[in-house]
């Protein structure tokens, strides 16, 4: 049922791909952006930050128009070229921890998103959807794929494996010491085989990129309404995705840090915790939980283990059983007074690729009063949330792989 099709990617030339590829704009500090743009005229950052040329911050519609101009300049200077025939793109990342991610970059259907064939597990913010939709409508391209996952499939896996025996079109290593590979898959017989395998799948799941998916869907509706000869085959009916099997997906936890105890003393806070948790003081030794419904806590120079008293908690659905939700419903909201996880400035998050030393150092510095460590959510939990039309609390998952912008570009 899932419609996954090849497309004609706009891509950097092989000699420049390592210079063009960039992380998401927001992940750089201002100093990092200035450095990279100052020394690398080919960085994709020059496209998404067009005001750099004028030493000025530019926002809104003016920025969108300049982004399009910079992109067209990269094409005019043949930094970017477009493939002549529709293709799939086999993409592999080997990260510095030894993790390997292999999948296919392709175009996926906005109609499938509307029909819930492509399922989500996170809420999106309408304002952000609209802003990014307007951005896409002006610039006319998408340079960062949505990350989708699908059930492991032997046929697709064998094709990917065979393709990877050939020389890669791209092979480059980032300053993060992650190595990226890309192979172009243009064989019509293999394309048909892959598309047919995806058509047999009832569901694809968004792992990362909920706002990009939603904005692409809104864009498709806009452009359909403006096109009197709409057929359904136009590029705007699709958005670029990186599809990987579930076994390749790596989900890290997001730990929580809170700036104060909501007016409670340490002793009063622990007494309230005791109503819902069995508490053990672990002293100064780092304690990391290793089971569902178990948490670590760092407070006043000491680690604690928190074991949920299940007799006092009701597991009524997939969301109620989720550790991030349990922490919210039993501690963050009722005891610490944090009801708005997105906007309350008293709470912050540290993803699990940072170890518990990060939590300890931030609490010891006085920046935060208490920190909580969780175990990662797994793929089955993520799917159960999506299948039941539920949504996780914000910052429930930190998902790998993370792709670079500008390696493949989808025009509509």
> DSSP per residue over 192-212, as a string?
HHHHHHHHT-S-EEEEE-HHH
91 and 102 in a single domain? The answer is yes
Q: How far is CA 275 from CA 97, 191, 381, in A?
A: 40, 58, 26
| 383: enclosing H helix or E strand | helix 379-387
**pLDDT value at residue 351:** 87
For the segment 114-159, what is each residue's pLDDT rounded down to a tens digit? 999 999 998 888 889 999 999 999 999 999 999 999 999 999 999 9
**pLDDT value at residue 77:** 97
**pLDDT value at residue 342:** 83
184 has a pLDDT exceeding 80:
yes
Average pLDDT of the chain to the nearest whole number:
95
pLDDT band at 98 (very low <50, low <70, confident <90, very high): confident
**pLDDT value at residue 120:** 95
Tokens of 251: 């989900």
67 has a pLDDT exceeding 80:
yes
219 and 180 in a single domain? The answer is yes
223 and 288 in a single domain? The answer is no
**pLDDT value at residue 124:** 84
For the segment 219-259, what is each residue's pLDDT rounded down to a tens digit? 999 999 999 999 999 999 999 999 999 999 999 999 999 99
Non-local CB neighbours of 339 within 8 Å, separated by 6+ positions: 333
Non-local CB neighbours of 294 within 8 Å, separated by 6+ positions: 305, 306, 307, 308, 375
222 and 316 in a single domain? The answer is no
171 and 295 in a single domain? The answer is no
292 and 247 in a single domain? The answer is no
Total domain count for the chain?
2
**pLDDT value at residue 132:** 95
241 and 267 in a single domain? The answer is no
Cα separation, 50 vs 135, whole angstroms? 14
221 and 352 in a single domain? The answer is no
Residue 283 structural domain: 254-396
- In a 3-state reduction of DSSP, which class is residue 260? coil
**pLDDT value at residue 232:** 93
Query: Residue 329's Cα: distance from chain center in Å?
Result: 25
pLDDT band at 55 (very low <50, low <70, confident <90, very high): confident
Per DSSP, helices labelled H in 116-237 are 126-139, 154-163, 188-199, 210-226
**pLDDT value at residue 25:** 84
Q: Which residue has the tokens 């293999």?
A: 190
386 and 351 in a single domain? The answer is yes
CATH number, domain at 377? 3.30.1760
- In a 3-state reduction of DSSP, which class is residue 103? strand
123 and 208 in a single domain? The answer is yes
pLDDT band at 97 (very low <50, low <70, confident <90, very high): confident
326 and 239 in a single domain? The answer is no
Asked if residues 146 and 213 have their Cβ atoms less than 8 Å apart, the reply is: yes
**pLDDT value at residue 323:** 97
182 and 216 in a single domain? The answer is yes
Q: Identify each DSSP E strand in 22-86 by its residue range.
A: 80-82
355 has a pLDDT exceeding 80:
no
354 has a pLDDT exceeding 90:
no
């Amino acid at each position: 049922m899932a419609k996954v099709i090849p497309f004609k990617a706009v891509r950097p030339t092989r000699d420049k791909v390592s210079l063009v590829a960039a992380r998401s704009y927001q992940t750089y500090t201002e100093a990092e952006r200035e450095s990279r743009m100052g020394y690398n005229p080919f960085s994709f950052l020059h496209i998404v930050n067009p005001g750099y040329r004028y030493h000025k911050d530019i926002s809104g519609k003016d920025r969108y128009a300049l982004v399009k101009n910079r992109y067209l300049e990269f094409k005019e200077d043949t930094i970017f070229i477009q493939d002549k025939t529709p293709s799939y793109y086999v993409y592999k990342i080997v990260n510095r921890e030894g993790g390997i991610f292999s999948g296919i970059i392709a175009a996926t259907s906005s109609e499938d998103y509307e029909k819930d064939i492509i399922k989500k597990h996170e809420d999106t913010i309408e304002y952000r959807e609209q802003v990014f939709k307007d951005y896409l409508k002006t610039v006319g391209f998408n340079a960062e794929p949505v990350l989708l996952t699908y059930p492991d499939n032997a046929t697709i896996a064998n094709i990917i494996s065979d393709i990877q025996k050939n020389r890669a079109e791209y092979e480059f290593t980032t300053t993060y010491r992650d190595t990226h590979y890309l192979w172009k898959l243009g064989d019509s017989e293999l394309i048909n085989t892959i598309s047919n395998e995806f058509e047999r799948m009832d569901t694809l799941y968004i792992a990362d990129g909920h706002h990009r998916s939603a904005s692409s869907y809104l864009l498709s509706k806009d452009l359909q309404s403006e096109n009197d000869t709409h057929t359904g085959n136009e590029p705007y009916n699709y958005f670029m995705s990186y599809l990987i099997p579930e076994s390749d997906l790596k989900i890290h936890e997001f730990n929580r840090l809170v700036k104060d105890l909501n007016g409670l003393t340490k002793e009063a806070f622990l007494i309230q915790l005791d109503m819902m948790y069995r508490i053990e003081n672990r002293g100064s030794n780092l304690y990391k939980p290793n089971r569902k419904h178990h948490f670590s806590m760092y407070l006043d120079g000491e680690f604690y283990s928190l074991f949920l008293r299940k007799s006092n908690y009701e597991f009524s659905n997939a969301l109620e059983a989720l550790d991030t939700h349990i922490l919210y419903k039993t501690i963050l909201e009722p005891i610490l007074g944090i009801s708005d996880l997105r906007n309350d400035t008293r709470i912050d998050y540290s993803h699990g690729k940072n170890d518990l030393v990060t939590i300890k150092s931030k609490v010891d510095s006085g920046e935060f009063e208490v920190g909580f460590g969780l175990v990662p959510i797994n793929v089955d939990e993520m799917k159960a949330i999506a299948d039941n039309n539920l949504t996780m609390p914000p910052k429930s998952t930190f998902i790998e792989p993370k792709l670079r912008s500008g390696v493949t570009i989808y025009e509509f």
